[in-house]
Amino acid sequence: MDDAPFAAAFAHVRAWVFDLDNTLYPPEAALFAQMGPRIGDYVARALGVGAEEAARLRDRYWEAHGTTLAGLMAEHGVEPWGYLRHVHDLDLSGLRPDPRLARLIAALPGRRVVFTNGDSDYAGRVLAARGLAGAFHAVYGVEHAGWKAKPAQAAYEAVLALGGLDPREGAMFDDDPRNLRVPHALGMRTVLVGPQPQGGPEHFHAPDLSAFLARIVGEPI
């Protein structure tokens, strides 16, 4: 396979921005299977509603605000740290170190950062469990984005400014096609990480993140 044209598409990139959940670890780790019930429990207790209504509200907040937390804050003034501590109190023992992925990320030229809709403490624990912490220059959580969440444009602008990152020299990796629309509009290369290509032909598709990065850095797949 001739990867020269592929690598050339990323030759200008000096700002590598990675989502965390289901991007830097495989969905099979099933952290969302733990997180989902904890989110529902928090919504039910915070708003005094039953489980069915909490599930309905979760879906509405996700559609209208990007995340459940963003909806709770916008519509109910919920304090974010209590939510985040509850939702991210997870068993991470299912995560395994991935030295090859760490090496490939570290080989990318320029600045490498994580940008998650979770908080940076949770992100740090996940990265440590995956053996990836040393591959990144910075980890930005939703608190660094002024509590704005992807896919809101203000969230990206805040993190790019904080990191001194030029989107015209950037690439964004995320498992949710919604979260790639703004980066693409800002001039970033956009890569959808996951088994199925979604979101349109404007995005590159990485069913296997390590294999995708190997093509960029010129390492055999």
Residues 47, 155, single domain; the answer is no
Q: Tell me what the mean pLDDT of segment 69-94 comes to.
A: 95
Q: Are residues 152 and 101 in the same domain?
A: yes
Task: Find the CATH number of the domain harbouring 138.
Answer: 3.40.50.1000
Q: Are residues 51 and 104 in the same domain?
A: no
Which pair of tokens denotes residue 56? 């309905």
**DSSP conformation letters of 64-121:** HHSSHHHHHHHHH---HHHHHHHHT----TT----HHHHHHHHTSSSEEEEE-SS-HH
Range of the domain at 119: 4-27+97-217
pLDDT (tens digit per residue) in 136-156: 999 999 999 999 999 999 999
Q: Is the dihedral of CA 34, 39, 44, 45 positive or negative?
A: positive
Q: Are residues 13 and 112 in the same domain?
A: yes
67 and 107 together in one domain: no
189-193 and 204-206: which strand pairing?
parallel
User: 37 and 11: one domain?
Assistant: no
The pLDDT confidence band at residue 5, using thresholds 50, 70 and 90, is confident
Over residues 50-77, the pLDDT tens digits come to 999 999 999 999 889 989 999 999 999 9
Backbone angles phi, psi at 172, to 5 degrees: -120, 130
Task: Looking at the structure, tell me whether residues 74 and 12 fall in a common domain.
Answer: no
Q: Say whether both 60 and 133 belong to one domain.
A: no
| Six token digits for residue 133 | 């912490």
| 101 and 76 within one domain | no
What confidence score (pLDDT) does residue 2 get? 57
For residue 175, tell me if it sits in a domain: yes
Flag whether pLDDT at 99 surpasses 80: yes
Give how many domains the chain has, as a whole number: 2
Please tell me whether residues 37 and 15 are part of one structural domain.
Answer: no
The larger pLDDT score, comparing residue 41 to residue 6, is at: 41
Is 175:196 a contact under the CB 8 Å cutoff?
Answer: no
Q: Which of 45, 60, 87 is the last residue before a domain boundary?
A: 87
Query: Which residues are CB-neighbours of 79 under 8 A, at least 6 positions away?
Result: none
Among the residues of 131-190, which ranges form H helices?
153-163, 181-185
Question: Is 11 found in the same domain as 73?
Answer: no
**Same-domain check for residues 107 and 175:** yes
pLDDT surpassing 80 at residue 157: yes
**pLDDT for the residue 173:** 98
Which of 109 and 196 is assigned the larger pLDDT?
A: 109
pLDDT of 15 reads 98
Specify if 92 maps to a domain. no
Residue-wise pLDDT tens digits, 181-219: 999 999 999 999 998 777 676 789 999 999 999 999 988
The tens digit of pLDDT for each residue in 9-36 reads 999 999 999 999 999 999 999 998 999 9
- Model pTM above 0.75: yes
Residue 1 has pLDDT above 80, yes or no: no
Asked if pLDDT for residue 102 goes beyond 90, the answer is yes
